[in-house]
Amino acid sequence: MTSDEFKEIEDAFQKATAMTAPERAAFLERLALENAVLAQKVRDILAADSDGDTSLAAPIAGSIESAIDDIGKPWINRTIDAWTLKEKIGAGGMGAVFLAERTTGEFAQTAAIKIMMAQLVDETAERRFRAERQILANLSHPNIATLLDGGSTMEGLPYIVMEYVEGVRIDAYCDERRLSLTERLRLFQEVCNAVDYAHRNLVVHRDLKPSNILVTPQGISKLLDFGIAKLLEPGAYEITIAQTRDGARAMTPDYASPEQVRGEPVSIATDVYSLGVLLFRLLTGQSPYGSSASTSREIESAILESAPLRPSAALTSLSSDSPAASSEVGEQRSISAERLGRRLKGDLDTIALKCLQKDPERRYTSAREIAADIERFLSNEPILARADSWFYKTRKYVMRHSRALAAAAAVFATIAALVTFYTIRLADERDKAQLAAEKSSQISSFLIDVFKNADPHTAKGEEVTAIDLLDEGAKRIATLENQPIVQSELMQIIGDTYTNLDKEERAIELIQSAINIRRANGAFDPLSMADLYHDLGEAQRLSGKIADAVASYKLALKLRQENLPENHPDVIWTLERIGVTYFDERSNEEALDYLQRARNLAIGLDGDKEEDSLSLDILGNIGIVLDVMGRYKEAEPILRKTVEISEKLDGELDPNTIIRNNNLGYLLVRLYKYKEAEKIFSISVERAIKVWPKNHSQIARYIADRGAVLYRLGRMKEAEAAYVKAAEMVRDGDGESSNDYIDHLRGLGAFYTIAGQYRKAELNLMHARKLTVELFGNDNYQIPQIDIIRAKAKNMQEDGARAATILQNALLMRKKITANRLVIAERELGVALSLQGKYNAAEKQLAKVLLEQEKARGADNPALIDVLRERAANLRRAGSPGKAAPSAKRAYEIATQYLPKDNWQIALAAAEYAHTMEIAGDTEEARRIANKARRDLVVVFGEGDQRVESIDAFLTLMH
């Protein structure tokens, strides 16, 4: 056979292998007409290839492996530049990889050296090897193995020195460590971010598979082997795409995309496909194409012709075929196989299948988009891969405010064109209602995507506000007056978006209109109406119309109870929402009642049902209500339980787990368990940094929470650094025009007040107040919260008159003040009255606060310390030291019982106690207690602090 004849056969074979079965048959028929001998030879080779005959392949593979082994031996202990080769640790198509140590310089270093073996490759591969070195030189990312050095040996063989990654391939790492689904997804996100970085540097990896992704013992993933990578930049290192032009399909079949199998040009979408296969395996332990395809030809045929399985379906199939194997898959993910299947079903199925689309244009457009949708799934937000239905969107359980949206003005024209198009189409149809039903979900999905993707933090160029966008959309809806179902659904969607943008009044108006339209047109589907009433209730709740909200929610509940099973998630969810609404109204007993009813349905009266995210959220809300009610002893075991279950159910790095962990921390602070609370908040910060992007407001929140407990522990410098860092993170991430930034300014003001730095406190608090008025108006809940802190600062400066005025105005907005802060406001009002010499009024006020707190929290609760101390101080100022003594002593005893030793809050109680002891004649003990209190306060606040000076004045008088 001549070389030309061989080339003809090879070319025909390569073309045939890239075709579907029908295409291949037609191709061979055409070829037979032109050259019957050539066609028959190609058929014979194809038949041998499809049989998976290894009789020839095995010896060839063995020979190559043997050759590489033989080549590697002479290199051991050889020194190349600064590196000594110690052992061969691997081999690839272009050469061998050695473990090496740096033998010169002032420090020891281990690396991996890859040397191209000229005996195994041709000139083209050598150029490709050099291109790999250049590619790695351009990539610097914590999750990509770093290029350290490079050059040529004395023989002229190119080599590269790479970071030595001591790790395990990603799938084995996940299985060996029994990583939960959440932990696997976090690791996968890390890989996506590394791949996205490569893409943004114009590099497509083209061989993404578990063996090229190692995970270190510290849990850090590292992307390896850019040996067949392609540069996207036109003209750069053209050799990296030569193998595609030559027909040599550089790939690993199991992870190859359809375009790679066909030998077509590759792109970012190629890596997206491979990431989809990797995700599928991490989720299920299986291939997207099942176990029937075993040979390379069968795998490639499946990639080209077969629809990939859904991950949940693959698991179901495995359970049917091999229950033991299915059980093992679940155990490797620290979850039962049945529960794993339920978690995969839905969003994760959708994400994986979008990656695995055969048409590259239908896949995610970037690895970053995959990571973002994974984040949405983990945060229980709607993913972008799905065409959102209203039912899907509202099923997401969220208890947070949405961020503002923005969009390019061109979107208006698109919306107008879309609605106009459908209006014309609908007018031409006989059965308008039927077509409306078919088209409404498409319109809804489009609008949702518009609103969702218009991100103010990434949009470039001229922008309009989300409110402008929504208002324009609302106007366009009027053109659909002849299509009531579509019109009402769009009203519902836009109304919901108004709610998320804190424009509840507009939301209420639109959603109520949607309800009226459906009633008027007889389109009274009970479950759709239940959705509308539910959404109306949420808008009313957020607008402060609590009675209206409860009424709307109860209408939704009635419809759902009449048309759904008693324990249906939507019934449970509505019960939970009613509970939350009563909680917002401070009707805590009613809130507990509804939350408990929801909880009983979610887990069963005997607790025999398995916990899920909804039931766990309800349990957490019960704990929060008990916490706010001051029923700390009941709340503590509940909140501890939510954290324990959440870590098992969702994993330690699940956002809900971190939030639940932090809720426990808040309670521990109120229980004065500062040291444990500090550990809890530190864990939250550590986990949040791994979960949320840099400068995310959630990370900042946890840093500030840790600052709050640090100052209580007397670690003022650390606390200030935490508060400042948190505020700067939010300012840099969201800008000053955000509620989160106002929160952090308020926190800084509170810290500086306690620290005695009143000028800084006033600056931060007034800045927060100014921003609140500008953004939200004078009746926003932030105003009284800020003013209570301002009043406390005035009291600490002994300006009782100014403090009283501020507090009286703040208390006019009593309904917008949380229970815990209301206690502070009432107490500070008593202090302000005392500082003005209104001792009787102050005593009545402080006695009332004390009685309410004793009733709510018990007689020896640490929350009583401050009010007891202030009451003693007032009675002492009033000239009634005998009456002051019991309160002062009680405050001191509770403080020493519950607070950490030498805590500055004990010192404040001790200082007041010393006053009453001195008046009672126990001068020596009073002096001893006062001196210790002084020492403890100086450690925290320094000399010159007014609290220290007050003790100094007392000690001077004693002399």
The angle subtended at Cα 618 by Cα 612 and Cα 622, nearest 5°, is: 140
The angle subtended at Cα 94 by Cα 91 and Cα 98, nearest 5°, is: 40
Q: Could you write out the three-class secondary structure of 591-655?
A: HHHHHHHHHHHHHCCCCCCCCCHHHHHHHHHHHHHHHHCCCHHHHHHHHHHHHHHHHHHCCCCCH
Alpha-carbon span 553 to 556, nearest angstrom: 5
Query: Does the CA dihedral 10-12-16-19 come out positive or negative?
Result: positive
Query: Whose CA is closest to 769, among 759, 778, 761, 760?
Result: 778
Which residue bears the tokens 């302000």?
A: 832
Beta strand spans in 269-309 (E): none
Strand order in the sheet with 168-169: 168-169, 213-215, 221-223
Which residue bears the tokens 């959102």?
A: 388
Alpha-carbon span 572 to 831, nearest angstrom: 46
User: What secondary structure letter does DSSP report for 402?
Assistant: P
Catalytic residue among 171, 175, 207, 705: 207
Q: How many CB atoms lie within 10 A of CB 947?
A: 19
Alpha-carbon span 41 to 12, nearest angstrom: 10
User: What secondary structure letter does DSSP report for 692?
Assistant: S
Query: Whose CA is closest to 841, among 788, 796, 790, 877?
Result: 877
Alpha-carbon span 257 to 253, nearest angstrom: 8
> Taking a C-beta distance cutoff of 8 angstroms, is the pair 38, 12 a contact?
yes
Alpha-carbon span 568 to 417, nearest angstrom: 40
Alpha-carbon span 617 to 180, nearest angstrom: 19
For residue 562, the one-letter residue type is: E
Q: Which residues contact 625 (CB under 8 A, 6 or more apart)?
A: 579, 583, 588, 591, 592, 595
Q: Which residues contact 886 (CB under 8 A, 6 or more apart)?
A: none
What residues does 160 pair with on adjacent strands?
A: 114, 150
Alpha-carbon span 612 to 607, nearest angstrom: 12
> Taking a C-beta distance cutoff of 8 angstroms, is the pair 184, 174 a contact?
yes
For residue 404, the one-letter residue type is: A
Secondary element (H or E) of residue 563: helix 546-563
Secondary element (H or E) of residue 588: helix 588-603
Q: How many CB atoms lie within 10 A of CB 233?
A: 10
Q: What is the DSSP string of 191-205?
A: HHHHHHHHHHTTEE-
Alpha-carbon span 62 to 70, nearest angstrom: 12
Q: Which long-range contacts (CB under 8 A, 24 or more apart) does 609-612 make?
A: 610/339, 611/645, 611/649, 612/649
Secondary element (H or E) of residue 244: helix 242-245
> Taking a C-beta distance cutoff of 8 angstroms, is the pair 574, 536 a contact?
no
Q: Is 207 known to be catalytic? A: yes
Give the 3-state secondary structure of residue 805. Answer: helix
- 847-856: buried (b, 16+ CB within 10 Å) or exposed (e) per residue? eebbeebeee
17: left (phi over 0), alpha (psi -120 to 50) or beta: alpha
Query: Whose CA is closest to 518, among 562, 550, 496, 486?
Result: 486
Tell me which residues are annotated as active site: 207
